[in-house]
Chain A
Amino acid sequence: MSAKAAAPVQGDRALSEALFRYVLRLADTSLVLGQRLGEWIGYAPALEEDLGLANLALDLIGQARLLLTYAAEIEGVGRDEDALAFLRDAPEFLNLTLAEQPNGDFAHTIVRQWLIDAWQLEVYESLTGSADTRLAAIAAKALKETRYHYRFSSGWLVRLGDGTAESQARAQQAVDSLWRFTEELFTPDEIDERMAAASIAPQLAAAAERWVRRVDEDLRRATLVRPAPQPHPWHGKRGVHTEHLGHLLGEMQHLQRTYPGASW
């Protein structure tokens, strides 16, 4: 692509390209996290948690479908939700790096879920007032489900953290190893700024403040410690991922890649 073509164009087209990528970030985070949670089905520590994680996955994939459908309409080149989910390669996925991290033990899964639930709470709550009414409607719908998810994940965080010596050590280990991926959540780039300027998405700084307050309060109740900030080199929301995403997509996309257009 020539430098001229890559330069930001004025007017609606530039805005709609930014909006497309912004909506994909939300969609891909839900889709990838939903796919990860699905890996627990049949393996969770107890039947109730097996059902719980599967239900979270179902909601997240449902949210991803609404968002991907909208993204496809914004893009307007004839792709649909399935084409976006199953026929894009890893560098085209714009999910948060945190969402693609492997399940690890139950504590890792819960900590990853809790961090993203708390993030989605802030983002969706702000988006209910978006100047983009379609995005506002999707956010209002997703927010209800996210509140329920957060109740589940924050409840488990406290039970694990303020539990036995073993569960506390594992929960702290999970917080320590996943914390480096949280910097990305609230580090705005030009797309976030463009969306905020158009009153489509929230100012990330304000959302970050609320997120930190909530996360600190949960950590306190869970008798866990917040690690020091750890800058990291990956930026999933810009398409630069850890090696884990490719493996996840390999499994998720295998059927559609092998048998294009296959349907039930």
Chain B
Amino acid sequence: MNGATNQASSLSGNGKRPRIGVYVCHCGSNIAGTVDVAEVREWAEKRLDRSGVVVARDYKFMCSSLGQELIEKDIKDLALDRVVVAACSPHLHESTFRTACRRAGLNPYLCELASIREQVSWVHSDKVAATDKAKAVLSGAVERVARNEPLEPQHVPVNPATMVVGGGIAGIQAALEIADAGYHVYLVERDPSIGGHMAQFDKTFPTLDCAACILTPRMVSAGTHPNITLLTWSEVEKVDGYVGSFSVTVRKKARYVKTALCTGCGVCQEKCPKKVIDEVYEAGLGYRKAIFTPFPQAVPKYPVLDRSNCTYFQRGKCKACEKFCPTGAIDFEQQDEVVTLEVGNIVLATGYDLFDPRRVTQYGYGRLANVFSSLEFERLTNSAGPTHGEIVLRDGVTKPSTVGIVHCVGSRDRNFNNYCSAICCMQSLKFAHLVKERTGATVYNFYIDMRTPAKAYDEFYQRVLEEGTLFVRGKVAEVTDAARLAGENGKLIIQVEDTLAGKQRRIPVDMVVLSAALEPRHDAADVAKRFGISCSHDGWFIEKHPKLDPVATMTEGIFIAGCVTGPKDIPATVAQGAAAAARVLGHIQRREIALEPIRASVIEERCSGCRICNDLCPFNAITYIEERAVTEINPALCQGCGTCVAACPAGAIAGTGFSNEQILAQIDGLLLRNLEVPAAEPALV
């Protein structure tokens, strides 16, 4: 085995000795401060010549245009057929140097990066040892590159139609941008209407403009746009295919209303005898009928019949809606419809769920009548809400004279969610302002830290301070109805440590509002799996890069926008919707997409059909072919992660660019076995 490896170590694929150029980067002092670059360069030239190194150079900034030109010139002048750049991590500059090689006529996959910055200079301080390690890392890369094959990317056509999942403000924005650019969009929404959480709000911070006034025109545009097909009351069941040609199965749940006939007049809702608590749109604070549109401005205007609460479906008698419908649009026989849609790209904008404040039992939500969740309070302040915008206690009539607003309920709390929910400070300030404006009540805000970082946010904070809202810095310990001091009878008492005054306080109030955390959708993990993307441990969808690629995912053609990636305010959500649309349009305009050729493939003769690999693929790229009893990998779906390659007990899966031969040679190189003079090799030296 050893002899064979050594024999191969000095040969490239075609039996010819490779001609490798080695380029060691100083990265200013980032590398050169800890690694003796000149020595590494010299060592490579002298000791790795048997491995095929014909030239080695060092340079201050290899990634600069001058550095790249140096490599290009050598490729041409010295007829190099392999390049190793010892510099930063491949994450950062692999594509830079591969592009330079391509310019010089060398297949880009014959260029490798040896990471001597992230893995050497940044993590060590002993210069001598670091220099030795840099040599070893470089030596491994040289052995590996000698075995690289030229690869060609696969080109796939892009279907210009796009699917946007989630009809909140992020999804609406993305859909409109793409539709306005002239391409077709399927906008899929689980609820009866688009609009999302924003449709539940009354005012938006910090400008206090009315949410409905700015949202409903967008909803109407999306509903009437010739390039947008709206699929509300619908859910994605299955996603097949890959970037450019996804095939998405959508279930259109039965509305029991013929949309072609319905005029949205609302008579059915008026006549329906069954009233139920609206847990979704009214956040449990108001009622709807069994046949309903969630709110008057809903898009589309057609109502939905909620089968589980319908008297006819439950008891076989009623049909009041049918009797009174002037156009005969009610259809009790309607069935779910399953459609398959072909699209090139998908934007996921499925939003968030509100943290259930019942979980913080000491705040009494669900037990104490006048403790409200933030979403309930939004409905309370909404002029179209159950109280027409009157801020009153749970009895529906009494105006509070003191209100306590508790921040960070379920956020920044080790028992629930460690993260900051980003919007709660501003939302709580908005609440404080609205209470002051509408009731003149005394308002306390209980906060841990105030976080008001975006445009005009801190100014709003100053304004609320000037309005006389009282701020207590400290985490509320308990909200209780157990009065024990004078003035506490009949009140809710907020027990809190005032960390600025350094003492415990008990503050009696009439109403408590809990600014609850934003959480990933309850089914976020299932949705992520369905679309072949990943969730963080918190449950938020993971971006391709948190800073530099915030709306793409590791799966090509699947983009994410809005609160699916983490808590966000409306401006940031809209920006992400637009950004995702721009990325989709980029794909569409290119007409076809080059896919990275780093892929896994099954060697059928070796595959026993054991199916161990089938469930491991995070990108759903592996299918089992029943007739031939073997497993197959879809090269367009495969992202080259290598999980299946490692898992296959028969070694029947090969990863392009990561063959066993390449990996073993790289290990030999790292261990400097390539420096040993093989006994049986005189003819080649």
A binds B: no
Interface residues of B (CB under 8 A from A): none
Interface residues of A (CB under 8 A from B): none
